[in-house]
Amino acid sequence: MPAPIRLRELIRTIRTARTQAEEREMIQKECAAIRSSFREEDNTYRCRNVAKLLYMHMLGYPAHFGQLECLKLIASQKFTDKRIGYLGAMLLLDERQDVHLLMTNCIKNDLNHSTQYVQGLALCTLGCMGSSEMCRDLAGEVEKLLKTSNSYLRKKAALCAVHVIRKVPELMEMFLPATKNLLSEKNHGVLHTSVVLLTEMCERSPDMLAHFRKLVPQLVRILKNLIMSGYSPEHDVSGISDPFLQVRILRLLRILGKSDDDSSEAMNDILAQVATNTETSKNVGNAILYETVLTIMDIKSESGLRVLAINILGRFLLNNDKNIRYVALTSLLKTVQTDHNAVQRHRSTIVDCLKDLDVSIKRRAMELSFALVNGNNIRGMMKELLYFLDSCDPEFKADCASGVFLAAEKYAPSKRWHIDTIMRVLTTAGSYVRDDSVPNLIQLITNSVEMHAYTVQRLYKALLDDISQQPLVQVASWCIGEYGDLLVSGQCEEEEPIQVTEDEVLDVLEGLLVSNLSTPVTRGYALTAIMKLSTRFSSVNRIKKVVSIYGSSIDVELQQRAVEYNALFKKYDHMRPALLERMPIMEKTATNGPTEIVQTNGETEPSVVESKHLPPVTHSCISQSFDYLLLLTLCLGIPPMTAYNKNGLKIDFTFERANPNPNIAVITIHASNSTEADMTDFVFQAAVPKTFQLQLLSPSSNVVPALNQGTVTQVIRVLNPQKQQLRMRIKLTYTLKGSAVQDLAEVNNFPPQSWQ
């Protein structure tokens, strides 16, 4: 059997493949050779074969048949074998594999090996991908190595311990003794990994955190030495001594100083020192400054220090390096809540970042801009934000539009400005506006009574230009339906009124109905708008014609509406004006804004986050059948009546038409008691003429509370197939103040709709 080809040879060969198919063929051939070699238990070339397998695995080909071979390599005595074996294990034998646990014994042995590089391999593998069971088994060995004087092993053991703690948090305690003098090490590697270990422990356990607070002075000292010491070639990066260690110490200080006054006090000086002395010309210096700023903002630092931190961020914003600007915007977003005024000072720079070419920076700048909007800067900020909305990528438009609406609602200096802003958003980003904005906008417009004429005129003009943006079209249709009369009569005060006839308006609305661009929801709006105009315009016949055409529309929603509206013309014409009346001013509900944009007003009033979240179901109902529902419930509703009112007992009847059988009237009785005592053992009985059938369902209770504090309800179903006039005889029995009361009565005043 010829020796298997070398790794480099294989790589060279595979790279000559010109097509994917050719490559696959080569790989398959080689895999077959490797497989047979594995079967023969060839020790000599196992290492080479596994290495080749790992290369092919990286290209994306399956390599699971090499898993056991990796185990054999790890168990081998040769260092080369172990090196490749452990590499293979880290690539192929993660904790999800069944054979993963078989590594445990080998790793255990290697952790105690005489050669530190072998121990290192074992620690590395365990620390990168050891499963919880493995960590449990080997934690003791790791703990032992954590106490060794060999710094090469100690640093690896520390990071391995971090992994063990992440996997098996209960084992954290056992590493506590070993941490005693970790920080007195001179070796930077050990120092760095020790700080990482301490950070992990403090994050996971408040007890540990309290315990390690005493290390603050020592950490401050180490940091000070790093800054003040002269040039150290071994750890220098662009003139800064061991930036990795500095950053890690700063992070640990952050965790230790958080919500602790004494610790925060102890680190104030060093933080100020780092903040002012660090070289900012290169990324590495800025990395340290960034970490410092994060620490200052998180601990209980004095206000001077906080201002210093925000000013650093402000300087970052002006840095040429995009990365620095990005990081500054992210941090400012985190601090805008707590240090609002300080951040406001950098508002113009932040707004400039809206024009940046980088997508991530633009997004951050947008979020931050919205957070900075307040009553004082609303006009200027909105101008910038609307300009941004015009030119930004589609992925931003929805969030930006929502943000604009929210901000406008909170800080609009005038109603006209508010409407104008909304118009601007609808016309520039109309298709990206969230669905739930439509009902909110409609509500807003309804409540701005004096702006109705102006609004409908502007919306009409917008419709003439463009009917593709559905939210715009929906709002516009709704408005035209409501205020079409103002449009035609040319009553606009805010701007030059346009001359438009009823027919032109109806043309536009009908155009929406037939256009391919309109969604079914939009068509619904348009049809309803046309219907409403029947009470506002004089060309009723035209409207009747349109409505009747859509009575046979394929779209079920449209068809239903049209049929109902037809019925409105025919049977319920007397109700039509009342039903199609102008909408009254609606009660203000909280707006449903995007969750990630935080609103503060940054002024002396306490900042109240106004975004209450209404369940999405309600909004979808509203947006789809906003006025339609209102119309129809009124249409089919039958007014309630009082059936009986004597001696303090009042019984009201309310009606519903039972679907699907229109011959059944569903009556709900509501019994209320205005006397001073409760009426107990209350029983309601009813009898109807022979042509009817009656079904009495169980009452809600048999106690009618005194002083109208509650009602007893009961449902009666009456079948009236011959559509005769409904009459009923009722019998009431109850006990009041100890004495039994009984009464009979006739109910003849049923409204005609209940039995017709």
CA distance 586 to 74: 75
Q: Among residues 183 and 651, whose Cβ is nearest to other proteins?
A: 183
In the block, residue with structure tokens 């121990």: 119
In the block, residue with structure tokens 């150290």: 232
CB of residue 287 vs other proteins: minimum separation in angstroms? 4
Angle ∠(36,41,44) on CA atoms, nearest 5: 100
CA distance 328 to 313: 5
CB of residue 243 vs other proteins: minimum separation in angstroms? 6
Residue by residue, DSSP assigns 652-700 as: EEEEEEPSS-TTEEEEEEEEEE-SSS-EEEEEEEEE--TT-EEEEPPPS
Bridge partners, 644 (sequence order): 651
Q: Among residues 623 and 672, whose Cβ is nearest to other proteins?
A: 623
CB of residue 192 vs other proteins: minimum separation in angstroms? 5
Q: Among residues 87 and 679, whose Cβ is nearest to other proteins?
A: 87
Contacts of 294 (CB under 8 A, 6+ apart): 250, 251, 254, 331
CB of residue 681 vs other proteins: minimum separation in angstroms? 44
CB of residue 34 vs other proteins: minimum separation in angstroms? 16
Q: Among residues 324 and 726, whose Cβ is nearest to other proteins?
A: 324
What is the CA 498 to chain-centroid distance, rounded? Answer: 43
Q: Among residues 293 and 667, whose Cβ is nearest to other proteins?
A: 293
Q: Among residues 334 and 383, whose Cβ is nearest to other proteins?
A: 334
CA distance readout (Å), 180 to 146, 177, 215, 381, 544: 11, 6, 10, 55, 89
CB of residue 31 vs other proteins: minimum separation in angstroms? 16
What is the CA 27 to chain-centroid distance, rounded? Answer: 46
The CA-to-CA distance between both ends of the chain, in Å, stands at 100
Bridge partners, 655 (sequence order): 667
CB under 8 Å, gap of 24 or more: what pairs does 316-320 form? 316/286, 316/289, 316/290, 317/346, 317/349, 317/350, 317/353, 318/349, 319/286
CB of residue 573 vs other proteins: minimum separation in angstroms? 37
Element (H, E) at 745: strand 739-747
CB of residue 83 vs other proteins: minimum separation in angstroms? 6
- Nearest CA to 106 out of 91, 125, 129, 133 is that of 125
- Nearest CA to 349 out of 331, 369, 334, 335 is that of 369
CB of residue 134 vs other proteins: minimum separation in angstroms? 11
- 3 state SS of 719: strand
Q: Among residues 176 and 237, whose Cβ is nearest to other proteins?
A: 237
- Nearest CA to 665 out of 640, 700, 634 is that of 640
